[in-house]
Structure 1
Amino acid sequence: MKEEKHTWDKVNQWGEELALLRNIIQKTELVETTKWGGEVYTINNKNVLGIGGFKNFFTIWFFNGVFLKDEAQVLVNANEGVTRALRQWRFTSAKEVNEKLIMQYIREAIENEKAGLSIKPEKKEAMQCDYFAAALKDDKKLNIALEQLTPFKQKEYWEYMATAKQEKTKVSRLEKIKPMILEGRGLNDKYRS
């Protein structure tokens, strides 16, 4: 049996502290699940919060924590400028765990989820590549084959071509992907299970 990997307990030093958080969370209606190698708690299959241990702290994070009132001012944005909705509550010792206050935050997070409060991810514009566009215009068969792929796979090819800086790189990349597109394969299909 393969050993389960817990990427959110990076240093394995917070076992008792995470068990303390887990015990508090289990008193709620949230459902425990494993996502991205860590413990995530959901309601109606929507992510509400997760817990994990890192080098200098253990944490409970709220996926839509930006909507919490945070009257105790305990939440931080773990990745300022990148993370829009997620907020963490970090602890460095079990003594800092205040069950009553944590339950207040969890209840509010559950109510926010039930109310549908969330920040939707922004759709990124597909990258453009004049070289690839010209190649598709010149080769109708290639263009048709690309259009028959899913939008996700099309986007992968566009980004792959658009990130090539030098002309020789664009040429070699086009040579590489042309047979893949004509066979109806995605750029990264071999990595997908």
Structure 2
Amino acid sequence: MDVDKYIESQVKYKDSLILLRNILLKTELEESLKWSAPVYTINGKNVIGLAAFKNHFCIWFFNGVFLKDEKKLLVTAQEKTKALRQMRFESINDIDEDTVLAYAKEAIENQKLGKELKPTKKGKTVNIPEALNAKLKTNSDLKAAFSALTPGKQREYCEHIASAKREATKESRLEKITPLILQGVGLHDKYKNC
């Protein structure tokens, strides 16, 4: 799907999205389609996105937290979003072309200046249970395969073994997961692809 097809599919807000797109195409931003929606980038960095929802359409500013927002038009879409800000509209009459262009130019300038809110790591550490640690020390293939897993997959395996109360259960679980680790798959991968 390309941007034209995306806009065509948004019957309710088609004309509004065309207007916003035309405003953004007046800038130096490059248009692409990411996450099934139009995204506008500069130097490979996401700056602005367009989206349509049931009761509104909006412009996403990927690092909108740095915009001055003197007209108080930006909202945080969700509590957990740190940098993203939305400029929401309910009809084409809500769009002030000069304002949208001014916000877009400020977002572009901020990106050029390197203003980005970098995601912070959660800092979850992988606590390897003794039974698994002992096996990793004696089996270099298993150790290499375990190290190649993502931290999330490593945590899944560690928590699976650590949650067993009896040593016999820990050993039994360790035997069952060893082939999975050697294959480079996660404990719950078969359920994630359903």
Aligning the two structures, in what range does the TM-score lie when normalised by the shorter sequence?
0.7 to 0.9
CA contact (8 A) 1:127 1:162 kept: no
CA RMSD of aligned residues (A): 3.5
CA contact (8 A) 1:128 1:158 kept: yes
Counterpart of 1:135?
A: 131
Counterpart of 2:74?
A: 75
Counterpart of 1:177?
A: 177
CA distance in 2, matches of 1:152, 1:93: 50
Within-5 A mapping of 1:40-55: 40-55=39-54
Within-5 A mapping of 1:103-118: 103-118=101-116
Counterpart of 1:167?
A: 164
**Aligned residue type for 2:98:** K
CA distance in 2, matches of 1:153, 1:53: 37
Within-5 A mapping of 1:4-23: 12-23=11-22
Q: Label 1:180 to 1:86 Cα distance change in 2 as closer, same or farther (>3 A).
A: same
1:20, distance to aligned residue in structure 2 (A): 1.1
Identity %: 42
1:181, distance to aligned residue in structure 2 (A): 1.5
Name the SS of the counterpart of 1:112 in structure 2: helix
Counterpart of 2:123?
A: 125
User: What TM-score comes out, normalization by structure 1 length?
Assistant: 0.79
Name the SS of the counterpart of 1:50 in structure 2: strand
CA distance in 1, matches of 2:137, 2:190: 21
Which whole-Å deviations, capped at 9, do the CAs of 1:150-173 have from their partners, x for residues lacking one? 8672413223235659528x8586
**Aligned residue type for 1:61:** W
**Aligned residue type for 1:104:** A
CA distance in 1, matches of 2:52, 2:67: 22
Counterpart of 1:86?
A: 84
**Stretches of structure 2 lacking an aligned partner (at least 5 in a row):** none
**Once structures 1 and 2 are overlaid, which stretch shifts more, 14-23 or 100-109?**
14-23
Name the SS of the counterpart of 2:88 in structure 1: strand
Q: Label 1:140 to 1:174 Cα distance change in 2 as closer, same or farther (>3 A).
A: closer
* Greater percentage in helix: 2
**In the comparison of the two structures, how many residue pairs are matched?**
185
Q: Label 1:159 to 1:103 Cα distance change in 2 as closer, same or farther (>3 A).
A: same
CA distance in 2, matches of 1:118, 1:154: 25
CA distance in 2, matches of 1:161, 1:71: 50
**Aligned residue type for 1:167:** A
Compare CA radii of gyration and give the structure with the larger one: 2
**Stretches of structure 1 lacking an aligned partner (at least 5 in a row):** none
1:12, distance to aligned residue in structure 2 (A): 4.5
